[in-house]
Amino acid sequence: MKIAVGADHGGYGHKEAIKKHLIERGYEVEDFGTYNEESTDYNEFAIKVAESVRDKKSDRGILVCGTGIGMSVMANKVEGIRAALVHDLFTAEATRLHNDSNILAMGGRVIELEKAIKIVDLWIDTKFSNEDRHIRRINKIDSYKGE
């Protein structure tokens, strides 16, 4: 599995630790930045990760900013992306089981690193349920074009 990662300055430390952890688990990781703690806009990193997932260059993506909110909102602007903002183990599992989320967003200033690593592992290891009701709901999400 190839995982795209991205962060702004508020998530940089968590991203670096998560990237190292993923590599230790045997995953291929592509890092779309940021590469230091200088202030930057989260938008560009969210788009790069989301487009990599959309274009199937990466299987999934992980985004970290200060709260995870901006990253998740921006990533969900990309068609085919189901980015989930997660701050606990229950929602990490549920968003994979029920929503087949393809991007995990977290807040580096909201979640302790140890917990963030546990969330990442659970999110990666949880398979989509493939239940008809969840497939139906995901199809509704994917087909909505707005007005």
Residues assigned a catalytic role? 65, 98
Other beta carbons within 10 angstroms of residue 38's beta carbon come to 9
For residue 60, CA distances in Å to 44, 84, 90 come to: 17, 12, 19
Q: Tell me how far apart the alpha carbons of residues 19 and 136 are, in angstroms, rounded to a whole number.
A: 33
For residue 106, CA distances in Å to 8, 15, 101, 130, 137 come to: 12, 10, 13, 25, 24
Q: Tell me how far apart the alpha carbons of residues 4 and 31 are, in angstroms, rounded to a whole number.
A: 6
